[in-house]
Chains A and B, each alone.
Chain A
Amino acid sequence: QSVLTQPPSVSGAPGQRVTISCTGSSSNIGAGYDVQWYQQLPGTAPKLFIYGNSNRPSGVPDRFSGSKSGTSASLAITGLQAEDEADYYCQSYDSSLSGSVFGGGTKLTVL
């Protein structure tokens, strides 16, 4: 299993708000290391969507926002659109493993 824990799936209707959680531990998120989020559309490479816990790269809609508290982080998507349907992964650094770690991924379905 992954070092960072994400729900396998979330869903929402167009226009709704959904959140995806990412739970870690004291050796990664809880240690203060930044959390990133990646979007992976079917058949494509992952794309950076949030970096440094809450920063959006240029081109990422402001409907996407990230936050971090304690040993967890969250990705929130407001005004859900069909094009948001994808897999989302959180990522951080783990001091016990001395390397980067990913969550298991969450499949977002737009109903």
Chain B
Amino acid sequence: EVQLVESGGGLVQPGRSLRLSCAASGFTFDDYAMHWVRQAPGKGLEWVSGISWNSGSIGYADSVKGRFTISRDNAKNSLYLQMNSLRPEDTALYYCAKGSLPAAYFNWFDPWGQGTLVTVSS
């Protein structure tokens, strides 16, 4: 069974940093792209970032470009999201999701983890 377990969320002050992790199991991790998708409280889904199987192709939403960095460690079956210069509007539940392809683009997302909550507030 495919499992994705996020961790690293919490309460952080504006301007500070946070690093999210996603531990994957139940599939060949380095065969697939991986993604982060977030959902602000009571709002819809927003794709944040995606990374190809070999980290050779990476994409970001305009809202996080230059502040967030996605990475993966295939040896550890893990996905990461380094979030710098956090803003109150980054407050959301952050989901890790398995892509449908090795490439970072044109994916669908299946399955999703349960999410980790990031709250940016002073």
Name A's B-contacting residues (CB within 8 A): 2, 33-34, 36, 38, 40, 45-48, 51-52, 57, 89, 91, 93, 97-105
Q: Is the CB of B111 within 8 A of A47?
A: yes
Tell me the B residues contacting A by CB distance below 8 Å. 35, 37, 44-47, 50, 59-62, 95, 100, 105-115
Known contacts: A103-B44, A104-B44. The answer to whether A98 contacts B105 by CB under 8 A is: yes
The reply to whether A51 and B47 contact each other, CB–CB distance below 8 Å, is no
Q: How far is the CB of B116 from chain A (nearest CB, A)?
A: 11
Chain A to chain B: the 5 pairs with minimum beta-carbon distance, closest first: A48-B110, A100-B47, A45-B112, A105-B44, A36-B108
Q: Is the interface of A mostly helix, strand, loop or mixed?
A: strand
Give the complex CA separation of A22 and B22 in angstroms.
30
Chain A to chain B contacts (Cβ below 8 Å), 17 pairs: A2-B44, A34-B106, A45-B112, A46-B95, A46-B112, A48-B110, A51-B108, A51-B110, A91-B45, A93-B107, A97-B61, A97-B62, A98-B105, A99-B61, A100-B35, A100-B107, A105-B45
